[in-house]
Each structure stands twice: as C-alpha cells, then as structure tokens.
C-alpha cells in the first residue's frame, strides 16, 4: 500500500489483531458510510462509522452502523450522563487526532470510553475507518472491542422511531 500504515493499523499489528485493508476512491467527496460500503463492496450493515460526542470536557466514542443514526438518549445512558451532544467537527482533530471521514475507533489521542452498537456483536467481521479518509479496515467486532475496551450496547435510533418524529 503506497500510503503506508496508519496509527490504527500499527496498533492492531502490535496487538496481533488480524484485519483486512480496503481502499476506496474518495476524490468525489462521497465519504459517508453508505457510499463507503458501496465503494468497498460490503453490505452497509457491516460498515460502521465512528462518532465522537461529549458532555462538557468528557469525550465519548460511538461506533454505529453507517446507515444508522446515533440515539443521543441511548448514548447518554451508555456513557452514564444525563445528556450528551455531538462533538463539533472542527474539534474532532484536536480531541481524537482524526478528521471527519477518517476517524477510527483505534489509535485516538487518548483511550476514550467507547461503545459499539449491539448489532455488531452478531457479525463475523465489521469495517471501520483505518484512520485515513479512503481506507477502511475489516476486523472482528470482539477483537475491536477488546482493543479499545468498548462495550456493546444499543445505541441507534429504531427505524420506526424516525417515522413517528417526521
């Protein structure tokens, strides 16, 4: 691979966690989860996005299916907070060391409390950002969770909840 290894890949290598790298063209600006799933040829339900949220100066990381929406009430409950809000995109690099579209749950500046949506628990493998826009890594959800000390919890809005809100 011409661009070399990312910090996330080096951490997985050191921990002897196997992963598969999948690169995709991002020049078209289409870096949202479902576009990425199409580009890497994986079902959208196996491609996960990494989101950062906060309560004051406490940062929390949520790894959810690419096509899903984070339920902030479920996220707050998971984090043990009354309320939680998304970290502004302009602050993502400062806190995580990653940029939008290249935010990996592995290799952030600090090991923040991390939560993976319960849907990942039943998958053999899942794809997450490898720490660079245009690069995904596929690995075992259990090994990912062990590496980042994550808990599997329900984190996403139910599809029928959206119907009631609209």
Kindly state whether residue 2 falls inside one of the protein's structural domains: no
pLDDT, position 163: 43
User: Cα–Cα distance between 135 and 6 in angstroms, integer?
Assistant: 9
pLDDT digits (tens, 9 = 90+) for 5-32: 999 999 999 999 999 999 999 888 888 8
pLDDT, position 29: 82
Whether pTM exceeds 0.85:
yes
pLDDT, position 77: 97
Kindly state whether residue 159 falls inside one of the protein's structural domains: yes
Kindly state whether residue 119 falls inside one of the protein's structural domains: yes
- Residue 132: exposure state from Cβ atoms within 10 A (0-12, 13-18, ≥19): buried
CATH number at residue 153: 3.90.960.10
C-beta of residue 71 within 8 angstroms of C-beta of residue 50: no
Q: How confident is the model at residue 111 (pLDDT cuts 50, 70, 90)?
A: very high
pLDDT, position 61: 98
Q: Which of 13, 5, 26 is nearest to 139 (CA)?
A: 13
pLDDT, position 151: 98
**Domain ranges, residue 38:** 7-82+90-165
Kindly state whether residue 1 falls inside one of the protein's structural domains: no
pLDDT digits (tens, 9 = 90+) for 52-70: 999 999 999 999 999 999 9
Q: What is the mean pLDDT of residues 95-123?
A: 96
Kindly state whether residue 33 falls inside one of the protein's structural domains: yes
Kindly state whether residue 11 falls inside one of the protein's structural domains: yes
Kindly state whether residue 12 falls inside one of the protein's structural domains: yes
pLDDT digits (tens, 9 = 90+) for 113-156: 999 999 999 999 999 999 999 999 999 999 999 999 999 999 99
Count of structural domains within the chain:
1
DSSP letters spanning the chain: -TT---HHHHHHHHTT---EEEE---TTS--SHHHHHHHHT--GGGBEEEEEEEETTEEEEEEEETT--B-HHHHHHHHT-S--EEPPHHHHHHHHS--TT---SSS-SS---EEEEGGGGG-S-EEEEEEETTEEEEE-HHHHHHHHT-EEE--B--HHHHHHH-
Kindly state whether residue 125 falls inside one of the protein's structural domains: yes
């Amino acid at each position: 691979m011409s661009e070399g290894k990312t910090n996330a890949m080096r951490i997985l290598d050191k921990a002897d966690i196997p992963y598969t790298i999948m690169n995709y063209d991002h020049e078209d600006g289409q870096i949202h989860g479902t576009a990425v799933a199409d580009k890497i040829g994986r079902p959208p339900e196996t491609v996960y996005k990494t989101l950062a949220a906060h309560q004051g100066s406490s940062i929390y990381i949520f790894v959810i299916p690419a096509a899903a929406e984070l339920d902030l009430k479920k996220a707050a409950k998971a984090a043990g907070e009354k309320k939680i809000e998304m970290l502004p995109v302009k602050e993502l690099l400062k806190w995580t060391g990653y940029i939008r579209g290249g935010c990996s749950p592995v290799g952030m500046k600090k090991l923040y409390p991390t939560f993976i949506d319960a849907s990942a628990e039943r998958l053999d493998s899942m794809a997450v950002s490898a720490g660079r826009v245009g690069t995904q890594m596929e690995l075992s959800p259990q090994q990912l969770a062990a590496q980042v000390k994550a808990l599997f919890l329900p984190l996403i809005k139910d599809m029928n909840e959206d119907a009631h809100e609209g």
